[in-house]
């Protein structure tokens, strides 16, 4: 939810930045275990991304808030997630579940951060799929880097 405070692991970075945004997307989980979710349906996903680092860029940003949103929103908003290359592999670990979408958002953002000279890192992605269901993805060792 926008304006919600999210749990974040303790860390020693000087700066911790959080960006909230949302996107609307359709998906289905192609497994009978998913019950009604095996049929195409849609969600408004709420995302909170936590990025940390010790060095600002020449603008005084760890990273521009807009860049974080654009990386994900431009790719997934008003899409069918199952058609995205991140979820095309027909195995359970690649179905666009809340867990896998959260991990994919992390991978996209961290991949971009690694191209930046000031080297911020993504500590976690909080992804709310429904009013009652969310997942937090944290890379192993993230807060110790």
Work out what residue 107 binds among ligand LPXRUNBV, Zn ion, none; the CB cut-off runs from 5 to 8 Å by kind: none
User: Contact at 8 Å (CB) between 15 and 56?
Assistant: yes
Q: Which is nearer to Zn ion, 37 or 56 (CB)?
A: 37
User: DSSP secondary structure string, 21-73?
Assistant: EEEEEEE---SGGGGGGGS-EEEEEEEEEEEEES---TTS-SS-HHHHHHHHH
The answer to whether the annotation marks 11 as part of a ligand binding site is no
Active-site residue flag, 129: yes
Residues 17-76 that bind Zn ion (CB under 5 A): 37
11 is catalytic: no
- Report the residue closest to Zn ion, judged by CB: 37
Helix (H) or strand (E) holding 16: strand 15-27
Supply the minimum distance, in Å, between the C-beta of residue 28 and Zn ion: 8
C-alpha span between 37 and 33 (Å, rounded): 9
Question: Residue 73, annotated ligand binder?
Answer: no
Known catalytic residue: 32?
A: no
**Residues tagged active-site:** 37, 78, 129
Q: Which residues in this chain contact Zn ion in the complex, by CB under 5 A?
A: 37
């Amino acid at each position: 939810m926008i304006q919600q405070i999210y749990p974040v692991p303790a860390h020693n970075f000087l700066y911790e930045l959080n960006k909230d945004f949302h996107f609307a997307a359709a998906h289905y989980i192609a497994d009978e275990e998913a019950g009604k979710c095996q049929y195409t349906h849609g969600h408004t996903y709420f995302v909170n991304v936590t990025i940390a680092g010790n060095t600002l860029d020449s603008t005084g940003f760890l990273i521009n808030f807009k860049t974080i949103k654009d990386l994900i929103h431009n790719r997934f908003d008003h899409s069918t997630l199952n058609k995205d290359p991140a979820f095309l592999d027909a195995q359970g670990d690649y179905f666009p579940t809340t867990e896998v979408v959260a991990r994919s958002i992390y991978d996209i953002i961290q991949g971009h951060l690694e191209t930046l000279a000031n080297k911020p890192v993504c500590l976690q992605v909080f992804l709310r799929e429904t009013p009652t269901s969310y997942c937090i993805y944290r890379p192993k060792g993230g807060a110790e880097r």
